[in-house]
Chains A and B, each alone.
Chain A
């Protein structure tokens, strides 16, 4: 296990400036709730702080995409710029250059200029890859984040209902989980995508456009539900047997209250431990689906669609493929690093290697 930064070492005893809670006297220990201890644990770990800050930096950078496109890149990354020309060292250079290889037929997009315009070069449509990376990162992170929340919510409901209600409900839900589990994730996701993507839907007043990001969010959110619902169910079953739940039951506490006050907070840690890892997994899943053209649909961009754009340019303009791959790798790495510390802080006993 990595450096375990339990909450105990970060208790307020050695604070220089007395916090309001410390001034209050003995209440200081009590007032530091479990969540505060988790925060202290995270702050005490350099890995968590650095990876957290870098992740924040990535998020901010992608949020600044419109500013970058308008002020630095100076072109619309969603409109093709096949006839665009840019100035390099006082020369006007076309973005789509005549091919110099072979028969000299066809055009190759400009490579990385390492300047404000077309910093990472252009794609086959003559669009600025660097600007698309930022816009794409925004969508990749949005999809991964939203599908993580969706997955955790669904898994919590399924796992808690199965574990807490038990009986026939449990056996139906557990069998369903097993079945979806036996379905290879990518095949399930591709199947769902092919059926759902490219159409518009109407649900009463809501309309989902055919290129909406909601469809990939739904798909990615659903496919990993069994992986989280199973441990949640196990946790609920274990909690059901634990002494404090039995005591609550013996005292005549209503089922609903036990569920809300005792089961849910204890399941919450399991869910939170899963969150960063799930988000990392979802980023990769999104890129894979988009790479197979069943994820994010044009004109929207994501790191996965840029990878797909770069597929045909792999040997001539590898930067179009390298940049999004590196972005995915760094983001996933940071999420996993952060997730490792979070798991150790929330549950020092568990040392699951994954």
Chain B
């Protein structure tokens, strides 16, 4: 077991190193990409571009640039932004992280509860109207782009019906820190949570339903029913418990990716200054140190989530330990 854990850790480091190299390559080594020209702006004089190149150290060999950037990111921790000179990278990410974490955690709770409930109800009422209704809804939920759902939610809650009793409590778009005003924090996040969770409720419900229905064909379910357990107990204690494993795997991956910044669309639509938005803004102005840091931050969560999920699987299913 220890060997597996150590091997896993080694792999994590290798994957993260690989990601940092890929990111670096995309922005520094692509023939079409000239960071100095981007920083200097459109129609800049060639001398300006050269000056920028020298100033930012972009004239050095690529491996040297890479090592220097990594050193300033991890060892001296004083890496600064290209776009806003003087802005330190690490504090910027640390400041953005709570907003994303609030958004994703709340949404995750919602979609795990909603998805599990939808899956169990649909499986229990298989091929009858609650199942058909839920699965129809889930198909529709999966088909909608998340930012569009967000826009439609904003249209209803911020504009069209904002003055009615139903939505007058919704604060203007933006993130309110938890520490400052917990109630405002909650109110400002209710609809972002619902929006972000919406798609996953559909997805998770679907996967769980399929899993339960498959599990129902297994021998141990027949045994449980044959020995006279009530149907509800068979459903909840036996079938759901075994069918929830793929959900746990999916959850780990989705949560990691979202915390890392993949909630960018939701953040943009609801004006939440989280990690995703920070990354997106850095990408837009080609702020390379910021991009490097945010992408590594994101991949860190993905890799961690991957590892945690693998460990969980090893714990749940001993058969996987041999592989």
Interfacial residues, chain A to chain B (CB-CB below 8 A): 1, 175-176, 178-180, 182-187, 190-192, 194-196, 199, 201, 280, 284, 287-288, 291-292, 294, 307, 310-311, 314-315, 318, 321-322, 325, 328-330, 332-333, 336-337, 351-354
Contacts and interface: CB of A to CB of B under 8 A. Distances in A.
Contact of A183 (B19, B147, B151, B152): B19
Contact of A191 (B18, B213, B291): B291
5 contacts: A183-B22, A184-B260, A187-B260, A192-B26, A291-B265
Interface stretch (B70-78, B230-238, B297-305, B311-319): B297-305
Contacts of A176: 18
B148 interface: yes
Choose among A186, A192, A336, A337 the residue with the greatest number of B CB atoms under 10 Å from its CB: A186
Contact of B280 (A190, A201, A280, A284): A190
Given A191-B295, A329-B143, A352 B210 contact: yes
A182 B299 CA distance: 6
A92 B160 CA distance: 29
A182 B302 contact: yes
A182 B19 contact: yes
Interface in B1-39: 14-15, 18-19, 22-23, 26-27, 30, 32-33
A292 B213 contact: no
Given A333-B139, A351-B210, A353-B210, A190 B283 contact: yes
B286 A179 contact: no
Interface string B254-271: 000100111011001000
Chain A interface, >50% SS class = helix
Nearest to A354: B207
Nearest to A280: B143
B155 A337 contact: no
Given A184-B298, A353-B209, A354-B203, 13 more contacts: A175-B18, A176-B18, A178-B15, A187-B262, A284-B145, A287-B148, A292-B264, A314-B151, A328-B148, A332-B142, A336-B143, A353-B208, A354-B207
A353 B214 CA distance: 10
Contacts of B159: 314-315
Given A284-B145, A336-B143, A354-B207, A187 B298 contact: yes
Contacts, number: 140
Interface string B270-308: 000000000110011010000100010011001100100
A352 B203 CA distance: 12
Contacts of A195: 26-27, 30, 32-33
Interface of B: 14-15, 18-19, 22-23, 26-27, 30, 32-33, 139-140, 142-148, 151-152, 154-155, 158-160, 203, 206-211, 213-214, 257, 260-262, 264-265, 268, 279-280, 283-284, 286, 291, 295, 298-299, 302-303, 306
B262 A185 contact: yes
Contacts of A351: 210, 213-214
Given A314-B151, A322-B152, A337-B139, A194 B23 contact: no
A182 B253 CA distance: 9
Contacts of A196: 30, 32
Choose among A185, A330, A353 the residue with the greatest number of B CB atoms under 10 Å from its CB: A353
Nearest to B23: A191
A204 to B, nearest CB: 15
Nearest to A311: B151
Nearest to A3: B127
Contacts of A175: 14-15, 18
A176 B295 CA distance: 17
A197 B147 CA distance: 22
Contacts of B208: 353
Contacts of A352: 210
B151 A321 contact: yes
Given A187-B295, A291-B147, A333-B140, A194 B286 contact: yes
Contact of B302 (A1, A184, A201): A184
A325 B152 contact: yes
A201 B30 CA distance: 12
Contacts of B140: 329, 333
A126 to B, nearest CB: 22
B143 A184 contact: no
A194 B295 CA distance: 14
Contacts of B295: 183, 187, 191
